[in-house]
Structure 1
């Protein structure tokens, strides 16, 4: 049996609290009038050991400022607060957003002043409507993401928050594999290469189905990400072949929209022969073989040759890899 009781040092001394177990989760859900729904992909973590593991893998300390997306009933929230960190939890479901501060007050009252809850869709979050992190040099995202929108959430937050320097997220195993995939593999696609624009990702573990209520029909995995520093020579936005992100992503969408075709065929409406030559990229290769640095070099060459690019939607086939998550089941916890 997992020990739910915690005693941890915080900025103000020792905090004694209690992480949520299965009985706690069911009671809180009943009191809040909440039943897990497919609309928000709700499968709640009921194992304290799992949320402690997530926080440990994330390396959260008392000096950190953390964003959590989809806190649900508060299992992971309490584990983050256990470290002494301050956090902002973004929850789309109004009853859950309303209940979360009450749960923290009940199980870890000394941590209540380190939590702010925002009732908002994570895809609409910006530094303007959630200014909590505007004064931070860097902050981290720790979350059990809704699986059906995990990739859009990650890419959107990375685009909007330049100071989002790292994340540790739990997602569907297949999505985790795609996010961390390398060029040349069958699962390397739009999510893999777009995430690589911002930094490096790796899968750091798997999570069993029995730690959730209700148990999902898919396996889960953890993905750890570290953002490139601005002066990192491998940063595609500032390195040797620095390019505009929008142009790079346009090429990625077109290349993977017809991933079985060569670059010459997939990008014929976008990239002239001289741009391939200038970038040193063989146009008979397929997009799935290119690194983010090569996509950046091609975009830089395209800009330099002042080519006229058409919309990628005219070049992309409907049978292609759009980059959207397509899980068999989704989850928030």
Structure 2
């Protein structure tokens, strides 16, 4: 495939974003988590850190006015942009045609809620790169990782607090349900900070980049069974696992038996365990209950 980066697609700056929004009569809504990137250097950085290339089919969730889309299209094979706002979804192809005509054919827009998408047109996606709406960032990320096993690499921009939680290691203050569930699918690492001044309107919080690189699921445990253990363990995170998992196991004694079989001290708390530990507990619970 030829690389059209030499054609030099125009990227959206502050004036472009405001003009496009005005043409659409758009007022960014907090309910949809709409904060549009107005800094070309930020979207170039995101594409660079994502490590995507000419063989990648990239899913972009919430493309908005197209800031990141325009930076991705010259670099990758195809961008499938999933946008819940019908007004924005309808306008995106025209914006891409105007700003990056040489690569406009690489864009496919899917007007849909990313939380409900389970199939996409064209070849299976290999990567996801997105500025995720803050209010649904973790559910969207986990849903798409589950729905599309072909995703081998993911770079998302999320609220800094969420970025910290996703990449937190066991034993840290921010380690919790998102950390463990993301680790089920991938190796997760922080990939940089993003200030609030690169957005319009500027959010009240800073953002962070998180890189996820797909790896095999731990052990042969069932994902739903493992996630049930994780949810139970962190629902009462101040309690020992023997107490926190008593409802999941049916009794404190049954929870202790499953923990012991999994090689976990029943006095441990959930924030000390890796995703592999949770997988062993789920497997032990299944064998004890059968």
TM-score scaled to structure 1, two decimals? 0.83
SS state of the match for residue 164, structure 1?
Answer: coil
Q: Deviations over 1:161-198 (max 9, x none)?
A: 11111100000000000000111111100000011111
Structure 1 residue 180 corresponds to structure 2 residue 163? no
Q: Name 2:269's counterpart in structure 1.
A: 286
Structure 1 residue 205 corresponds to structure 2 residue 192? yes
Structure 1 stretches of at least 4 aligned residues deviating more than 4 Å after TM superposition = 11-14
Q: Deviations over 1:260-282 (max 9, x none)?
A: 00001011133313222211111
Match of 2:242 among 264, 275, 279: 264
Kept in 2: contact 1:10–1:83 (CA 8 A): no
Listed as ranges, the matches of 1:68-217 within 5 Å are 68-127=60-119, 130-132=120-122, 135-136=123-124, 139-217=126-204
Q: Deviations over 1:134-176 (max 9, x none)?
A: x43x610000000110000011111111111110000000000
Q: Deviations over 1:73-101 (max 9, x none)?
A: 00000000121431100001111001100
Q: Which has the higher contact order (CA 8 A, sep 6+)?
A: 1
Q: Name 1:37's counterpart in structure 2.
A: 29
C-alpha separation between the residues in 2 aligned to 1:131 and 1:117? Answer: 10
Bigger drift between 109-118 and 76-85 goes to: 76-85
More helix by share: 2
C-alpha separation between the residues in 1 aligned to 2:6 and 2:259? Answer: 61
Structure 1 residue 252 corresponds to structure 2 residue 233? no
C-alpha separation between the residues in 2 aligned to 1:139 and 1:160? Answer: 12
Where does the alignment leave 5 or more consecutive residues of structure 2 unmatched?
none
C-alpha separation between the residues in 2 aligned to 1:73 and 1:156? Answer: 24
Number of residue pairs matched by the alignment: 285
Q: Deviations over 1:2-51 (max 9, x none)?
A: xxxxxxx9457842321111111111111122121112111111110000
Distance 1:39 1:199, change over 3 A: same
C-alpha separation between the residues in 2 aligned to 1:306 and 1:264? Answer: 16
SS state of the match for residue 81, structure 2?
Answer: strand
TM-score scaled to structure 2, two decimals? 0.94
Aligned alpha-carbon RMSD (Å): 1.5
